[in-house]
Amino acid sequence: MEFCLSVFSDLKKVNSMVEYNFIDLFAGAGGLSEGFIQAGFNPIAHVEMEKAACNTLLTRSAYHYLKEVDKSERYHQYLEGKISRETLYNEIPPQVQNSVINLPIGKEYNDEIHRRIDSCLNGKQVDLIIGGPPCQAYSLAGRSRSKNKMVGDSRNFLFEQYALYLERYRPKLFVFENVLGLKSANGGFYLREMQNRFSEKGYDLKLFTLEANNFGVLQNRKRIIIIGWRKELMLEIPNLELIRNEAEYKVNDLLKDLPPISAGQGKDKYLTYGGDPTDYLTATAIRNGLEILTQHIARPHREQDRQIYREAVLKWDLYQERLNYNDLKEDLKTHRNRDSFMDRFKVVAADLPYSQTVVAHIAKDGHYYIHPDIEQNRSISVREAARLQSFPDNYYFEGEREGANRTAAFKQIGNAVPPLMAYEIAKIIKELLC
């Protein structure tokens, strides 16, 4: 049996007479949460230790609240730069502001987090917990950079904290997201311990290896999703690995309506679009009628890097081949490592059905994400990265302080769960709860 996505015909908030409440742990910038909100779930609280990501969560909470009370214009004014972030936050009630909890999950702060979640619940039941601990402890890249392969890193055992929250709030289901490396980290020890701990707390579970491009995301992104449910519910969980996206789009469908900019150019707030939305952008609601383009801003590059970018784009355009670092002229080579990461300069090819995986390293440099237009001669902008992750254009990524913060935005985007994939998972979870 094979599931076919309906995302391109019904990406709208799913109405329901029943309100299902969720808590988002290790929430990041809220990509997973956004998908569940779009599917009609009600967020009780988001818990996240990074201040910049919490600001993003609060700004998005302001968007959803103002939309609900028919005051969306105030959010639009913020995107236009007409009002400050402080003014925007003053538009939302204290209970919405308090729902974003900027604390690290762990023994030192759990009591305070519980107190604040309980206050937000105000007697409501938690139907669902979503989220996943930071992936560095399990990722192959994280282990390769660590001298001891992340052995002894406290983040290896953050699933223990997740289990404690399951025990306290007893949700009917949970959705746990992480990287593929979770399967192999420490020979699978952490995954086995995780399964045992969740079982001890009264939950059965299923593990799925999912590809984001099967959910309408124009990106090659593989992730593990664990769905757990209380044993007494005896649920039948459909096989998420059978979901297939039948629509045929290319990466250029994400890019071609944006105004051309060069390295170091663009505006945080705001630019006008360069063209009409494509069918893909309309169908997925990435561009949803609001003519305010934010965060289409590109990092500056050295001339040496721009020369390499031109070579990479030319090689793809002429031969459909990727640039090998060792094929560059000697005066363009600055990296001592000539034996690995030979594709460190890579074009986001416009004519492919999906891009390479967007990861948090994009916050450090854009070499792996070269824009396919040789005339623009740059790496992709913040907004282009967000689109590859399927975030809607009205999703604004904050820094710790108000104002443009390209690095913080890139980091949050690279660490996020694609909302479009989260939305499809949320619809299935909702059917199980009904």
Contacts of residue 123, defined as CB under 8 A and 6 or more positions apart, other chains included, come to none
CB-based contact 284:420 (threshold 8 Å): yes
CB of 33 closer than 8 Å to CB of 27:
yes
Per the rule left: phi > 0, alpha: psi between -120 and 50, beta: everything else, 129 is beta
Q: How many CB atoms lie within 10 A of CB 207?
A: 18
Instruction: For residue 75, give the nearest of 392, 421, 418 by alpha carbon.
Output: 392
Exposure of 344 in the CB half-sphere (CA atoms within 13 A): 19
What values do phi and psi take at 27, rounded to 5?
Answer: -75, -20
Catalytic: which of 4, 54, 135, 434? Answer: 135
Contact in structure between 415 and 29 (CB atoms under 8 Å): yes
Q: Where are the alpha helices (DSSP H) in 80-188?
A: 85-90, 94-97, 110-121, 140-145, 158-169
Return the axis-axis angle of helices 158-169 and 110-121, rounded to nearest 10°.
Answer: 40
Q: Tell me whether residue 135 is one of the annotated catalytic residues.
A: yes
Q: Residue 314: which residues within 8 A CB-CB, separation 6 or more?
A: 374
* Dist. CA 328–CA 324, nearest whole Å: 7
Which residues have a catalytic role annotated?
A: 135
